[in-house]
Chain A
């Protein structure tokens, strides 16, 4: 039995249970109107499918604004959980499935998907992208000198703290100035003090549990590098003191009860915004819920290891267009409008408080946030500082999807107590096997 037939039967219930049942229906709806020829201009009402990985209605403001501005193009979203999206999109596109028109691309996957032929070349938009978007965002969406997807956001992590818990514990909070940046050691000591004095369940929570996005800055701050090296970044470089130190620190957070083991990446925002945690390191998206829940909070720069350099993560979601779409023109227009117009890009961050990739959308975005909470007054300047001084890109490689998957398993094992060196050795061995077919 072929791979696709086996998993068509067996993954469908999983996918459905994870809230993706709408995918087939929505994708199936993509054939209304339009021309079969990708290059032909489309007339009349065109319906395109958009596969995304956010919570329900995450992209609703963007779709609503786009549909209002483009009455002849209807975008139908299909939401897939973040951890499953890459596999599902890959599975469909590897079969040259024409039912997906546009889809969310995590920017580090750009090289991998472009090399496999899953992305339509959007180089015709390069000039407009360079004119409107932050250079780092354009770079993260490019591979071999071509633009493959259109950046929506500029991600950057900050440290949020629960003012009430810190006050109860008598812990002086950090400031929001990069010059006063705390170390990880300082943060853990403060987190433990808060737990001891308030009985808080959690001292410090890293938003994206077990994900490379969250843990790369720790390894890079400890001098471990990105974990990949060599030609095409297809050689693992994990067995070094930096990675060992960073992941030893990660393991200890859970072993010492500073971070609870049972909070997954999908649950972390809700856990912090429910008031359970003293410190939280993650995207500014959490600010929206903190404001809504009326939890007093403050922000500070992401910590670093004492004696080492500060490092923060970068790169976020972009929109790609399927080369197998029958509505490439409409899908490309959707991707362009969401990224390169101020109106579209601001709509994309209406429900998620994440810095926009569009330079002209940046100031209105941060000004809007500052109006909502005094704690966010300096968020714009802090994010801009991090993007220009401490942000590191994830490694550009055609093996990124395999790398991310294998590293996530290693991080999970380390979190659950596997010896750091053993887990890294195991990951190295798997990466070498996975990359062997990409090197040829």
Chain B
């Protein structure tokens, strides 16, 4: 080919031609792929920008301002004063944080254990398992406000819960008069609504535990309890971590039960952060201070979730 001048000439020409044609082609392909990727990403990016980034920036700006009483007046820049007021002077902010952390801790532990127990139960060979699962899952399809109203009636002094307990000789209770009973009632409501969802996630995790490993444990003489704690639970660490983190975030945003039933009572026991923010914004009309509370809420959630991941997430 080297002696073939035509060939020698043709090769570079082809090479040159190939190169001169290939570069724009690749560029065009890259550009086209880039456009397609951008088109696919655009909806998410726009949503992220409009529903996440913009509101976050808006909240940060609002939290550094004070709106004069008349809404037609321009807001005044006050720096960190709203944060100082909340952290130092507010009689409700820290009690609200404490109430939220206590309640979320109770709910996360109770619902994680409850969802796992149900998951284990409904992965056993039993009659109509799928129907039972569906029954537990069903309440999540009902709007939360509706479920809350129904449970509010059930928990009334003359409601069915007290009627049932009375019939069993266990007495009657005023469920929204003390912190303990109010938390019990709220935990029942939130669990009735959400437990099936968390159970479904853990059932998926349980299905991923290899049968061979269980069988091997059985051959080694491990009983059901030993198998659960030494085999199943360690292999469930990832879905359990997800459930715990998701439950934490979800319950920090609990709002409907206290808004509908207790209005933060009794004695501020259910004045959780979302209700505190709502009250500050819409009852007190102080949206700037409420914005500062939202920023603080975001920081608290991020800190707690980071700790949770550190503690329970798998190292890999």
Contacts and interface: CB of A to CB of B under 8 A. Distances in A.
A412 interface: yes
Interface stretch (A223-231, A241-249, A347-355, A400-408): A400-408
A118 B294 contact: no
B123 interface: no
Contact of B263 (A13, A88, A91, A408): A408
Given A14-B259, A433-B89, A3 B71 contact: no
For chain B, the bracket of interface size reads: 35 or more
B242 to A, nearest CB: 23
B284 A11 contact: no
B291 A398 contact: no
B74 to A, nearest CB: 13
Contact of A117 (B71, B85, B146, B260): B71
A116 B285 contact: yes
Interface string B124-166: 0000000000000000000111101100000011110000000
Contacts of B51: 5
Contacts of B178: 416-417
Interface string A129-158: 000000000000000000000000000000
Interface in A72-89: 86-88
Interface string A3-27: 1111100110110111000000000
Given A13-B145, A405-B279, A416-B266, A260 B157 contact: yes
B282 A87 contact: yes
Interface in B252-299: 253, 255-256, 259-260, 263-268, 274, 277-279, 281-287, 289-291, 294, 298
B162 to A, nearest CB: 9
Given A3-B290, A16-B143, A429-B91, A413 B266 contact: yes
Interface string A411-440: 011001110000100100110111011100
Nearest to B256: A14
A422 B243 CA distance: 40
A196 interface: no
A90 interface: yes
A1 interface: yes
Contacts of A10: 253, 255-256, 274
Measured as residues with beta carbon below 8 angstroms from the partner, the interface class of chain A is 35 or more
A204 B220 CA distance: 72
A291 B156 CA distance: 29
Interface string B14-54: 00000000000000000000000000000000000001100
A412 B265 contact: yes
A142 to B, nearest CB: 18
B290 to A, nearest CB: 4
Contacts of B145: 13-14, 16-18
Given A3-B290, A90-B282, A417-B177, A116 B143 contact: no
B265 A413 contact: yes
A274 interface: no
B58 A416 contact: no
A14 B283 contact: no
Contacts of B291: 2-3
Nearest to B287: A3
B194 to A, nearest CB: 15
Given A3-B294, A117-B72, A426-B267, A434 B284 contact: yes
A35 to B, nearest CB: 21
B59 interface: yes
B92 interface: yes
A17 B283 contact: no
A360 interface: no
Nearest to B144: A13
A409 B156 CA distance: 18
Contact of A409 (B62, B72, B265): B265
Nearest to A429: B91
Interface in A244-278: 260-262
A262 to B, nearest CB: 4
Nearest to A438: B69
Contact of A94 (B71, B255, B263): B71
Contact of A262 (B55, B158, B255): B158
B59 A3 contact: yes
B70 interface: yes
Contact of B69 (A116, A416, A423): A116
Interface string A158-171: 00000000000000
A421 to B, nearest CB: 13
B285 A90 contact: yes
A68 interface: no
A87 B92 CA distance: 19
B56 interface: yes
A215 to B, nearest CB: 16
A394 B165 CA distance: 43
A5 B281 CA distance: 12
A2 B156 contact: no
Interface of A: 1-7, 10-11, 13-14, 16-18, 86-88, 90-91, 93-94, 96, 115-118, 260-262, 398, 401-402, 405, 408-409, 412-413, 416-418, 423, 426, 429-430, 432-434, 436-438
21 contacts: A2-B55, A5-B55, A10-B256, A11-B255, A13-B145, A14-B145, A17-B149, A87-B278, A94-B71, A94-B285, A115-B69, A115-B70, A116-B285, A117-B72, A260-B157, A261-B174, A401-B284, A405-B279, A416-B174, A437-B289, A438-B69
Interface of B: 51-52, 55-56, 58-59, 62, 66, 69-72, 85, 89-92, 143-146, 148-149, 156-159, 174, 176-178, 253, 255-256, 259-260, 263-268, 274, 277-279, 281-287, 289-291, 294, 298
